[in-house]
Amino acid sequence: MSRYTAVLLLGIFILTAAADAFGQQTYTKRRQDAMIFLQQAETSMRGGNFNNAYDQYTAAVESDRNFAEAYMKRALLLQRMGRYDESMVDYNKAIELNPYSEVYYDQRAKLQILQSDFKGAIVDLDKALKLSPYDNTMMEMRAIANLQSNEFAGALSDYDFMIEMNPKDTIAYLQRAITYSRMNDLEAALSDIETAIELNPHSELVYDVKGLVLMHFDQLGAAMDAFDRAIDLNPTFHIAYYNRSVVWKRLGEIQKSIEDLNIALSLHQDFPNAHFNRAIANKMLGNDEESVRDYNKAVEVKSDFTDALYNRGLTKSMLGDYGSSLTDLDMAIEQDPTDPQLWNKRGNLRAFFGKYMEAIRDFNMALKLKQDYGEALFNRGVTRMMARDNIEGCRDLERALDLGYTRAEEQLRYFCAGIK
């Protein structure tokens, strides 16, 4: 090798080493800056200043775009702020940068469960549990996701493993009992509940779950006894009063149902489902104004309570408050535009007040979402006839009857004879 070549190679080596050192220093500086921004963001979080925290997490991301933890922290904040789509983008990036963290998969699964993407959550929890196979909390969450997806075998497998690991896990027995009840296996469900009672005989929760399982199988008397026992064990257990109110309602004892709901709400005022059920009970007794007040409270406590908005809108329409009732249905559709029933009901309301063309557009949307929706076809047919489009109206009624919606038969007989 000539002296020239040796010097050239040495120069290249020195330049490469210098470049590596410079790159390492730059990388370290970027990471250090990002860490400082993360610390500032955590301080803002503790002070409840989410907007500042968001800006600081963003600064951390911009300082070091290979820093998975910065994306992760911002994802958690965005999730807390209700900005789920943005949060998911950050979770995806964090996992792309660090695919070996069970915590990252676990947190993304929680967001997927919030978005009712249970199958996606199961995939992430499978990955998380491969990295941390004995994490009871993640396994419980996967079991719940399996149950919500009607993947009963998966849920049972998880609960079996949890019980094998801890044979005195009362909650696992109760959750497995609920799974068996969803599978319509009363014997297996009650067997698990009896085991839970043996393990924890003074637990109001055990008897409350027993009542829920028995109610699922229409054993209302036995369910009532179970809820009574739960209340005896803990007279301040508002959930048991709420569940017992459901039994009273199913037995036709509406006033007794309201009395239990009153107690539940006296123990826990911000209980949206109790306000919702009391509103329904008052509506059944003809107390429309009291019903609206309870729907108001349910929506106040839970702003995205679509069923409460929908029912409040219908009740207001019965009181002649068309504008306000339509606003409620508008809000309900905005919250869940994929529910054909909401479009159908708003169409009914618009038709009731003579807004036929607007009503037909709503029925069209309901049928776009659910093509075999016999009730929407029937309603569109009747509305078209009220709008003097008898031919198309009768065609809709015929299609509704073909789908098994029998109310169309009488309308066809009286209004469509001889119409082609």
Write phi, then psi, for 350 (nearest 5 degrees).
-65, -40
* Range in 211-215, 232-236, 350-354, 356-360 the model is least confident about: 350-354
Helix axes 102-114, 68-80, angle to 10 degrees: 20
Mind listing the domains of the chain with CATH numbers? Answer: 337-420 (1.25.40.10)
> Rounded to an integer, what distance in angstroms lies between the CA atom of residue 55 and that of residue 73?
12
Enter the tokens of residue 145.
């996701």
Residue of 106, 161, 104 lying closest to 134 (CA atoms): 161
Cβ atoms of 53 and 45 closer than 8 Å: yes
Contact (Cβ atoms closer than 8 angstroms) between residue 225 and residue 257: no
Name the DSSP letter for residue 220. Answer: H
Helices 50-63/3-46 angle, 10° precision: 170
Q: What pLDDT is recorded for position 26? A: 53
At 183, is the secondary structure helix, strand, or coil?
Answer: coil
Single-letter amino acid, residue 315: T
What is the arithmetic mean of pLDDT over 71-90? 94
pLDDT tens digits for 95-145?
Answer: 999 999 999 999 999 999 988 899 999 999 999 999 999 999 999 999 999
- Residue 319 confidence (pLDDT): 77
Q: How far apart are CA 312 and CA 23, in angstroms?
A: 63
- Distance between CA atoms of 395 and 139, rounded to whole angstroms? 53
Residue 203 Ramachandran class (φ > 0 left, ψ -120 to 50 alpha, else beta):
beta
Other CB atoms within 10 Å distance of the CB of residue 221: 10
Q: What is the Cα–Cα distance from 170 to 208, expressed in whole angstroms?
A: 13
Of 82-91, 120-129, 299-308, the one with minimum mean pLDDT is: 299-308
What does the DSSP 8-state code read for residue 200? -
What is the per-residue DSSP string for 274-311?
A: HHHHHHHHHHHTT-HHHHHHHHHHHHHH-TT-HHHHHH
Query: Does 306 have pLDDT greater than 50?
Result: yes
Rounded Cα gap, residues 344 and 360, in angstroms: 9
Both tokens of 264, joined, read: 């539940």
Residues 6+ apart with CB under 8 A from 201: none
Task: Give yes or no for residue 327 having a pLDDT over 50.
Answer: yes
> In the structure, how many helices (H) and strands (E) does the chain have?
23, 0
Q: What is the CA radius of gyration of the chain?
A: 30
* Predicted model pTM: 0.74
Angle separating helix axes 136-148 and 118-131, nearest 10 degrees: 160
Phi-psi region of 71 (alpha: psi -120 to 50; beta: other; left: phi over 0): alpha
Rounded mean pLDDT, 230-255:
96
DSSP state of 269: S
Structure tokens at 156: 């049972």
Banded model confidence at residue 314, pLDDT cuts 50, 70, 90: confident
Provide the token pair at 315.
Answer: 């009740």
**Position 228 pLDDT exceeds 90:** yes
Average pLDDT over residues 151-169: 95
13-71 pLDDT tens trace: 343 444 444 444 456 888 999 999 999 999 999 999 999 999 999 999 999 999 999 99
Residue 312 pLDDT: 86
120 three-class SS: helix
Q: Give me 232's structure tokens.
A: 């005896």
